[in-house]
């Protein structure tokens, strides 16, 4: 099933110059980038992105921390499209806590915080966000992109595999 999903390269990924490396991982898997922009998120946009469920699940302090972090520098917002894109992107990204992410994933290969530090103190500094479900992807895509910012085109290999 062809899906679209949102990826955000967070401030730590932007500041460390990992944009190209991260994009390369998705393209190498045959996924298509159909929208991309650099955005300086507002506090309202970041709060809406993370939602009240973060505050309810982890507390307002965690929500405030994530909002402060995501608004600290520009992020790269990306729309990725492909067969089972949501699950595929999540596999490429790796576990939420970088110290638990497998080698070969974006978080496993590029994050340099220890497992204990990443799990207990710095869950926001994990380089990247990827929508976790179809429902989340639809909500998040609408928050970050207008319909005219998402484009469709054929990749050269699509005629051979679809």
pLDDT tens string 102-147: 999 999 999 876 454 444 445 668 999 999 999 999 999 999 999 9
Q: What pTM does this model have?
A: 0.90
Question: Which of these is catalytic: 49, 125, 129, 160?
Answer: 129
Alpha helices by DSSP H, 59-114: 60-70, 85-93, 106-110
pLDDT at residue 116, rounded to an integer: 46
What tokens does 87 get? 């699950």
Residue 81 has a CB neighbour count (10 Å cut-off) of: 18
Task: Say which CATH topology domain 2-40+75-147 has.
Answer: Alpha-Beta Plaits (3.30.70)
Question: How do residues 4-54 score in pLDDT, each as one tens digit?
Answer: 999 999 999 999 999 999 999 999 999 999 999 999 999 999 999 998 778
Answer for the pair 7, 25: CB distance below 8 angstroms, yes or no.
Answer: no
Please report, for the chain, the start and end positions of each structural domain, with discontinuous segments joined by +. Answer: 2-40+75-147
Q: What is the DSSP letter of 84?
A: T
Higher pLDDT, 71 or 158: 71
**Quick check: is 49 catalytic?**
no
């Amino acid at each position: 099933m062809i899906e679209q999903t949102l990826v955000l390269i967070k401030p730590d990924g932007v500041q460390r110059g990992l944009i190209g490396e991260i994009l390369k991982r998705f393209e190498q898997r045959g996924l298509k980038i159909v929208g991309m922009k650099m955005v300086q998120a507002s506090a309202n946009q970041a709060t809406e992105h993370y939602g009240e469920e973060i505050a309810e699940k982890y507390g307002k302090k965690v929500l405030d921390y994530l909002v402060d972090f995501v608004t600290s520098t520009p992020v790269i917002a990306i729309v990725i499209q492909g067969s089972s894109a949501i699950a595929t992107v999540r596999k490429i990204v790796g576990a939420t806590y970088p110290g638990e992410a497998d080698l070969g994933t974006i978080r496993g290969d590029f994050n340099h915080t220890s497992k204990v530090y990443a799990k207990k103190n710095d869950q926001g500094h994990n380089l990247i966000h990827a929508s976790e479900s179809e429902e989340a992807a639809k909500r998040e895509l609408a928050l970050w992109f207008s319909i005219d910012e998402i484009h469709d085109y054929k990749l050269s290999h699509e005629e051979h595999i679809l």
